[in-house]
Amino acid sequence: MYKLLLVFVGGGFGSVLRYLIGRYFEFTEKDVFSGTFIVNVLGSLLIGILFGLAERHHTLTPNQTLLLATGFCGGFTTFSTFALENTALIRSGNYFNLFLYISATVIVGIGAVFLGMYFTKG
């Protein structure tokens, strides 16, 4: 039950922060680099840092990793909103921005995880 509470609390904080950033960087069909892109990249960087710390330096306990990586990062990042925004780009016929948004999110997101893990190298 304690582990569920950790995920719940971390996810709640992550979701609230995602909402605030999303409201600040409103998505429009012409805007490719929306708040969703920003939170997904930041979340990817953060999860890379967290797992780098957990694996390389053993500075995080399994419960801290559960709270921060599974809970916070899971609540902070969002695939469903990313998919919805891409659907809006398809419906508007904005295929260039669709390709750019998908490519940038995947490439930069994976790169951010590697960068986060690189930062924690000992």
Cα–Cα distance between 89 and 86 in angstroms, integer? 5
- Write the pLDDT tens digit of every residue in 55-89: 888 888 999 999 999 999 999 998 888 998 899 89
| Rounded mean pLDDT, 24-35 | 70
Cβ distance 85 to 34 under 8 Å?
yes
pTM: predicted TM-score of the whole model, two decimal places? 0.85
pLDDT at 28: 61
Cα–Cα distance between 50 and 75 in angstroms, integer? 15
Q: Looking only at Cα atoms, what is the longest distance across the chain?
A: 48
Q: What is the DSSP letter of 41?
A: H
- How buried is residue 17: exposed, middle or buried, by Cβ count under 10 Å (0-12/13-18/19+)? middle
Residue 106 Cα distances to 22, 65, 80, 98, angstroms: 19, 23, 14, 12
Q: What is the DSSP letter of 77?
A: S
